[in-house]
Amino acid sequence: GAVVSQHPSWVICKSGTSVKIECRSLDFQATTMFWYRQFPKQSLMLMATSNEGSKATYEQGVEKDKFLINHASLTLSTLTVTSAHPEDSSFYICSARTVAGGNIQYFGAGTRLSVL
φ/ψ bin of 110: left (φ > 0), alpha (ψ from -120 to 50), beta (otherwise): left
Counting contacts by CB under 8 A, is residue 34 touching other proteins? yes
Q: Does residue 5 interact with other proteins by CB under 8 A? A: no
- 25 or 95: whose CB is closer to other proteins? 95
Q: How far is the CB of 4 from other proteins (least distance, A)?
A: 8
Of 11-19, 38-46, 69-77, 82-90, which segment contacts other proteins by CB under 8 A?
38-46
Question: What is the rounded distance in angstroms from the CA atom of residue 29 to the CA atom of residue 52?
Answer: 10
Which of 88, 1, 71 lies closest to 33 in space, CA to CA?
71
Instruction: Give contact residues for other proteins (rule: CB under 8 A).
Output: 1, 4, 6, 31-32, 34, 36, 43-46, 49, 51, 91, 93, 95, 97, 99, 102-110, 112
